[in-house]
């Protein structure tokens, strides 16, 4: 099981419950590299209390190791800096190469990219590397907590109809890979929830900002019993 996480916290938020139950899982973080030493501190990292982008990266690397350890998954950060620290247009060739080099029969889980342009770039770069890999199974996970703020996302585990921007993300994926099967939903309970909660809390440096975003605050407390992280959803291409 290979989960492609655009940033250090996306896999834990979106698929932590599933990761807790998978054996030998790997979390590939696309934007896992340090910024240049001379890079100006981003607004996001400043609001998280950091003095420099490099300090933020070092802390988040440790957070990611702890988060993956809670899920018994292997952390695999790629050397691409986060968006605010990229000097030129986003070059995600490293993501493409990583996908092309995966072991046979791997199951790859990509972000659906719900209202997240940077997630969409990572998703598309990964798909470019998977074009010549028909042996790999591909799944698309709903980006949490953002997808849960979309009208049509229901706590009853039902399927759509989904409103924008979730419907738009599904359409963008279908334009690349063809029709998708009906989404599979999982409610995270019991020990899986204990482990997911532990992995999410490991990303402490960003939790207050993520939880305070307008589109996230609308769906309630992140770790509430019926909160936005309790349901995980994935879609897969229709096999012909």
- Other beta carbons within 10 angstroms of residue 46's beta carbon come to 14
How far is Cα 86 from Cα 55, in angstroms, rounded to an integer? 16
Is the pLDDT confidence value at 156 over 70? no
* Region of poorest pLDDT, from 7-16, 109-118, 160-169: 160-169
137 pLDDT more than 90 = yes
Residue 222 phi/psi, 5-degree rounding, is -55, -40
Answer positive or negative: Cα dihedral of 59, 108, 231, 25.
negative
User: By CB neighbour count within 10 A (0-12 exposed, 13-18 middle, 19+ buried), where does 117 fall?
Assistant: exposed
In percent, how much of the chain has pLDDT > 90?
69
The Cα 120–Cα 41 span in angstroms is 24
Share the mean pLDDT of the chain: 89
- Rounded to whole angstroms, how far apart are CA atoms 193 and 215? 23
User: Tens digits of per-residue pLDDT, 99-115?
Assistant: 999 999 899 999 999 98
Task: Tell me what pLDDT residue 45 has.
Answer: 93
pLDDT at residue 212 in the model: 66
pLDDT in tens, 30-72: 999 999 988 999 999 999 999 999 999 999 999 999 999 999 9
């Amino acid at each position: 099981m290979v989960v492609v996480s655009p940033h250090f916290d996306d896999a834990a938020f979106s698929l932590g419950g599933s990761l807790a139950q998978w054996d030998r899982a790997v979390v590939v973080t696309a934007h896992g590299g340090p910024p240049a030493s001379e890079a100006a501190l981003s607004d996001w990292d400043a609001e998280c209390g950091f003095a420099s982008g490099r300090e933020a990266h070092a802390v988040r690397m440790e957070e990611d190791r702890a988060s993956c350890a809670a899920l018994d998954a292997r952390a695999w950060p790629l050397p691409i800096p986060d968006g605010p620290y990229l000097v030129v247009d986003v070059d995600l060739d490293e993501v493409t190469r990583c996908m092309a080099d995966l072991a046979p029969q791997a199951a790859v889980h990509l972000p659906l990219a719900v209202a997240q342009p940077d997630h969409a770039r990572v998703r598309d770069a990964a798909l470019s590397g998977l074009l010549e890999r028909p042996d790999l199974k591909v799944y698309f996970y709903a980006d949490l907590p953002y997808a849960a703020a979309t009208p049509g996302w229901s706590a009853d585990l039902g399927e759509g109809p989904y409103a924008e921007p979730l419907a738009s993300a599904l359409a963008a994926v279908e334009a690349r890979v063809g029709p998708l099967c009906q989404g599979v939903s999982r409610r995270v309970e019991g020990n899986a929830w204990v482990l997911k909660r532990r992995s999410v809390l490991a990303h402490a440096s960003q939790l207050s900002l993520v939880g305070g975003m307008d589109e996230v605050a609308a769906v309630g407390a992140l770790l509430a019993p019926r909160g936005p992280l309790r349901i995980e959803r994935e879609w897969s291409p229709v096999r012909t």
